[in-house]
Chains A and B, each alone.
Chain A
């Protein structure tokens, strides 16, 4: 194995890790996130965060704590410096959804959606009919975001 191959392999590995792990690329903004904490019946969701950053109107479209001082203080993400407030973003400072939204809903805890509902509601805001097939066909969810594990496994077996 020559040197070039090793470098190429290392590079490929690095890119792969970046993509899968959703490592910070710019100002702590993730590129691709693998959302698999709740994965049970369905495969984890590979969420193209970078793609959504460019299409969404602003962070607050999904990160509802943005602009709400009740959930999080501005300085958790921004350096309080008027000249560069907007540019000075450390998105890694944003609270992950799971810090407030419990993974398993408890009976009686009605004020806050569970983690599963919170994720889905964020997606459904846009991906209902007009952008995507969710809400028109129950299969739309599996086509757009996550195939059932059994189905994914069957597909992989066929490929082998």
Chain B
């Protein structure tokens, strides 16, 4: 946690005599030394003002909506036909791509979702057989506690009970904090419309789902790679597949715990980092990384000046006497 680290840093700095504390010999002669005072203040300030609020304000365990939907992509099934890309393009009425959907030259470089393609498929080498490459479909993972929503200063993002993370362009003013906050580099900026800022990303076909349908990509997939269903049931399904075919899958459901869990999850035959999945993600929601610190900022700004003022007054008087 950021606050405890901060406290440690403060204590360490004080202990090692670095920073503002200098001339130990001279000060330690006093009954209540400056170093002790600083240490006490730092510890008290750290715990009382930073540590405690983080306990108070920390988000309660989000089990979310138990019935929320999700997707499971079985990366061992995908054959790279790009039907999902095409279906997404049609369902969202996106412009026709420059390179047609049955063209394999797109696999020569790794792509990211853009304003005109909410999902893209990338190709990765199969270490066991060059004839059977792996493919990874990239799109918004619809985090349970989305970093984009936490970073957005105007609440343009909403996590819906159905599972989708939706974006509202009417309130967005184009700061693009969400693009920085997303651990999966998903939100794309529509640079074509500079005067009307617009972030673009997958919507998990929210309208279709609400009307009892399923996301266009899942419906179009001919290989049964993408399964749409309740998130809890998908985790069970993934576990069953991994248990039944331990030689086919690695024992990891990507998205079950990453950044607090995502609606979109993956199972794979090779380690996820070899397919450019971020592998250094924490299991806690990203918002919890900053919550303690940010909630303490107002308190720190109001109370610390007074404390530091006292500290200054105490030490100045002492130095004046010497």
Contacts and interface: CB of A to CB of B under 8 A. Distances in A.
Interface of A: 105-111, 113-114, 116-118, 120-121, 124, 128-130, 134-139, 141-142
Given A107-B209, A107-B212, A130 B131 contact: yes
A135 B214 contact: no
B198 interface: no
Contact of B104 (A105, A110, A121, A138): A138
A142 B233 CA distance: 34
Contacts of A138: 80-82, 101-104
At the interface, is chain B mostly helix, strand, loop or mixed?
Answer: loop
Nearest to A113: B224
Contacts of B302: none
B104 A130 contact: no
Nearest to B85: A138
A135 B224 contact: no
B158 to A, nearest CB: 21
Contacts of B129: 129-130
Given A120-B222, A141-B81, 5 more contacts: A128-B79, A136-B104, A138-B81, A139-B104, A142-B102
Interface string B200-223: 000000000100111000110111
B128 to A, nearest CB: 11
B234 A110 contact: yes
B132 A130 contact: yes
B214 A105 contact: yes
Interface of B: 69, 72, 77, 79-82, 101-104, 129, 131-133, 209, 212-214, 218-219, 221-224, 227-230, 233-234, 237
B226 to A, nearest CB: 10
Contacts of A141: 79, 81, 222
B219 A105 contact: yes
A136 B224 contact: no
Contact of B133 (A111, A124, A136, A139): A136
A19 B129 CA distance: 37
Nearest to A120: B222
Given A129-B131, A134-B79, A110 B233 contact: yes
A105 B101 CA distance: 23
Given A107-B229, A129-B132, A117 B213 contact: no
Contacts of B219: 105
